[in-house]
Chain A
């Protein structure tokens, strides 16, 4: 069973706001899912290499040059900023 303290800690790492009521619900649901996942402990994984991708993935190199993007696309992306100043993304201060 995962603790309330752990739920709060994980939510903070994920930058996910949770209400007090939801913390308890999340604790119950995550515990149930994690109990099910315990099943993996039955498998002997000594001397087994991990798989991150199903197909062989290799690093693909290219020269470090900027690709020109349509000015129109650039404008559309900037328009989506919640807050913008002179074409730059504006964020709230780190300290209140």
Chain B
């Protein structure tokens, strides 16, 4: 077995048994990136020196006979909207092209405490706005399973890097599906934690009531390892909380799984539907109780999301004004022109669209008709989930109604790109945890199964995922 095929647990075993060194492991991955990323374009920045230095330190530990944490010496990739001290962090935007992070995000601090090896920063849709990674200001990332197709987005670089074995795991962020959908499109595992389970400090803010950082990995066990390393209350993020839920004596025979009928309506690719139904059948055969449930406000979640998300985004992105950091236009007559020109030249099309949409929805005369209305619909979507979670332990749905689409297929029509998120945005509006796992392929294209849990029941959905993986 090659070093680039390992899972986290296997690599950890290899390190402590001294079958290979952390330096060897790191060099193998850097080499793989050099060869393979020429056609995948998953990485925006590769930091060889830092990665090698981090690996060397772990080898010293091992040689000294010290015990090492599971993630020590394990090479990973980080989405380029998460700050790593002294490494460039662009959010795939021209406006931050030369921005070097002055401090570590909390998740990075936690990983560094474990002895992480960071290979580099991965591509995304600019400021995480998009579902295909085509909105990157630098270049689109390709799907490793079919180079003509998108890897999904916005964490497309992270998912592609894991799928192409260019790293052992990656971090992504999920605001409306940005971890789950690329994981699904690339045939890997992605976990969007409960809102508040992971600190957002040092994550470049997009839509603050929806954003969460989470792992993208090769299997469910690895997702659990990384999630446990990054979760927890952080004084720098007042919405973060400590996990309360522990799972005991998990038996599939006790499990009640809900299948929301609104997720299997017109618009879903029949091939995708077939594989999801097959997976549900498998759970039933293994002893789980399957129940059809209803989330009646499903069709309103997406339009509500596309008001709430741009509204929060337009407020968050007001900080890129050309006066504090980031791109600043050189020739300007006055302060107003600095604002106007820096944003005009620094932001790409989708970012401008969301700023405009959000500003419109929040502006005088429209606030009640759009923003307030969307927040009320959000309450109804939340009530739907609360009601079904009284009857079932978890929900199973598709991650995306479509197979990975071709590069260029949707980018010209913003609304058709928004529709890609139809099965994932509700989960962010309600703040629930959700796991995306591969459940089969149509030709060479993977299909992802979404397992949605109650707030803070990550452990349960991870167990449910593992059962499918082993079956």
Interface residues, chain A, CB within 8 Å of chain B? Answer: 2, 6-7, 10-11, 13-19, 22, 26, 29-30, 32-34, 36-37, 39-43, 45, 48-55, 57, 60, 73, 76-77, 80-83, 89, 91-96
Q: Contact: B376 with A30, CB < 8 Å?
A: no
Report the minimum CB–CB distance from B85 to chain A (whole Å): 9
Q: Contact: B338 with A92, CB < 8 Å?
A: yes
Q: Contact: B300 with A39, CB < 8 Å?
A: yes
Q: Which residues of B contact A39 (CB under 8 A)?
A: 299-300, 303
Q: Does B322 contact A (CB under 8 A)?
A: yes
Q: Does B372 contact A (CB under 8 A)?
A: yes
Q: Which residues of B contact A7 (CB under 8 A)?
A: 356
Q: Contact: A73 with B102, CB < 8 Å?
A: yes
Report the minimum CB–CB distance from B389 to chain A (whole Å): 13
Q: Does B355 contact A (CB under 8 A)?
A: yes
Q: Contact: A48 with B324, CB < 8 Å?
A: no
Taken together as a complex, chains A and B put the C-alpha atoms of A46 and B194 apart, in Å, by 29
In the complex, given contacts A30-B360, A92-B338, A94-B336, what are 12 additional A-B residue pairs having Cβ atoms less than 8 angstroms apart? Answer: A10-B359, A14-B314, A14-B356, A19-B344, A32-B414, A40-B304, A41-B373, A57-B238, A80-B325, A91-B335, A91-B338, A94-B334
In the complex formed, the residue of B with least CB distance to A45 is B376
Contact among B103, B360, B370, B429 with A10 in the assembled complex (CB-CB below 8 Å): B360
In the complex formed, the residue of B with least CB distance to A60 is B238
Taken together as a complex, chains A and B put the C-alpha atoms of A5 and B389 apart, in Å, by 47
The listed residue with most A CB atoms (<10 A of its CB), out of B297, B337, B375, is B375
Q: Does B378 contact A (CB under 8 A)?
A: yes
In the complex formed, the residue of B with least CB distance to A39 is B303
Q: Which residues of B contact A30 (CB under 8 A)?
A: 353, 356-357, 360
Q: Which residues of A contact B431 (CB under 8 A)?
A: 53-55
Q: Does B316 contact A (CB under 8 A)?
A: no
Q: Which residues of B contact A49 (CB under 8 A)?
A: 376, 379
Interface SS, A side: loop
Q: Does B328 contact A (CB under 8 A)?
A: yes
Interface residues, chain B, CB within 8 Å of chain A? Answer: 99-100, 102-103, 194-196, 209, 238-239, 241, 297, 299-300, 303-304, 306-307, 314, 318, 321-326, 328, 332-341, 343-345, 347, 352-353, 355-357, 359-360, 363, 370, 372-380, 382, 414-415, 418, 428-432, 455
Given A32-B415, A80-B99, A55:B239 Cβ within 8 A: yes
Q: Which residues of B contact A92 (CB under 8 A)?
A: 332-335, 337-338
Given A36-B415, A50-B372, A73:B103 Cβ within 8 A: yes
Q: Contact: B380 with A43, CB < 8 Å?
A: yes
Report the minimum CB–CB distance from A20 to chain B (whole Å): 12
In the complex formed, the residue of A with least CB distance to B238 is A60
Q: Contact: A50 with B304, CB < 8 Å?
A: no
Q: Which residues of A contact B100 (CB under 8 A)?
A: 76, 80
Q: Which residues of B contact A48 (CB under 8 A)?
A: 376, 379-380
Q: Contact: B299 with A80, CB < 8 Å?
A: no
Q: Contact: B299 with A93, CB < 8 Å?
A: no
Going nearest first, the 7 A-B pairs with the smallest beta carbon separation are: A54-B431, A17-B344, A50-B375, A82-B328, A17-B340, A80-B325, A76-B102
Taken together as a complex, chains A and B put the C-alpha atoms of A73 and B28 apart, in Å, by 33
Q: Contact: B324 with A89, CB < 8 Å?
A: yes
Taken together as a complex, chains A and B put the C-alpha atoms of A10 and B382 apart, in Å, by 31
Taken together as a complex, chains A and B put the C-alpha atoms of A5 and B322 apart, in Å, by 26
Q: Which residues of B contact A16 (CB under 8 A)?
A: 340, 343-344, 347, 352, 355-356
Between-chain CB contacts (< 8 Å), 12 pairs:
A15-B321, A22-B352, A30-B356, A33-B357, A33-B415, A33-B418, A37-B303, A50-B378, A51-B376, A51-B429, A54-B430, A55-B196
In the complex formed, the residue of A with least CB distance to B208 is A53
Q: Contact: A11 with B332, CB < 8 Å?
A: no
Report the minimum CB–CB distance from A48 to chain B (whole Å): 4
Given A15-B340, A76-B102, A91-B323, A53:B195 Cβ within 8 A: yes
In the complex formed, the residue of A with least CB distance to B310 is A33
Taken together as a complex, chains A and B put the C-alpha atoms of A72 and B326 apart, in Å, by 19
Taken together as a complex, chains A and B put the C-alpha atoms of A46 and B433 apart, in Å, by 29
Q: Which residues of A contact B428 (CB under 8 A)?
A: 54
Taken together as a complex, chains A and B put the C-alpha atoms of A75 and B297 apart, in Å, by 50
Taken together as a complex, chains A and B put the C-alpha atoms of A37 and B356 apart, in Å, by 15
Q: Which residues of B contact A60 (CB under 8 A)?
A: 238
Taken together as a complex, chains A and B put the C-alpha atoms of A95 and B415 apart, in Å, by 40
Given A55-B455, A60-B238, A92-B332, A15:B343 Cβ within 8 A: yes
Q: Which residues of B contact A18 (CB under 8 A)?
A: 344, 352
Q: Contact: B195 with A55, CB < 8 Å?
A: yes
